Chain A
């Protein structure tokens, strides 16, 4: 059974700092991996999608990497801003069951001004 783990569970940094969020998964047979952002009480906003054949994706200050063989992904946020404060969720899309998304527990990020 696929399990997704995110470390750390919570992170507090000063504004302007570069930071890395980690995600690991137990079964490397994935179709893709997706990073989401969730603000308190809101839905999920997709940040980056990495196909299983890709190594990284970039969008603005965000860069996500994928090492499928080792079951790891990282989300790099450059020059963090208070507006980046949210919970960041990593999710892998299974293949053998037709594409269900399995979520990690999330990393709660707080960027202090």
Chain B
């Protein structure tokens, strides 16, 4: 069963619109991530959070922004969508690393496929 939820599943939107992609997890994980994946291409980390009020940019530059006001919620926002933002956006969460041991892997949501026309 899915413990991490992304909405919407598909979104087609016009250029210049503001959009927010939702991601929520029910596992109490402190770490959350956003990845971007173009068709047939690798996943690239664009944002991550290690806890409430903590957000960092990932390895791939992105015009999107994120917020982490609650542990379970990590929304991604595009202030002005452009065709270049067309992609699949995948949200993930994981348990933190304590000491030298990371006991848990990542759990991914089903993704949001965004098309900007």
Contact = CB atoms under 8 A, between A and B. Distances in A.
Contacts of B108: 36, 43-46
B103 interface: yes
Interface residues of B, number: 28
Contacts of B113: 41
Interface of B: 6, 31, 33, 42-43, 45, 48, 50, 58, 88, 90, 92, 94, 96-97, 100-111, 113
A88 interface: no
Interface residues of A, number: 24
Q: Which applies to chain A's interface (DSSP): helix, strand, loop or mixed?
A: strand
Contacts of B48: 100
Given A98-B31, A101-B94, 5 more contacts: A31-B102, A43-B108, A44-B108, A51-B102, A106-B42
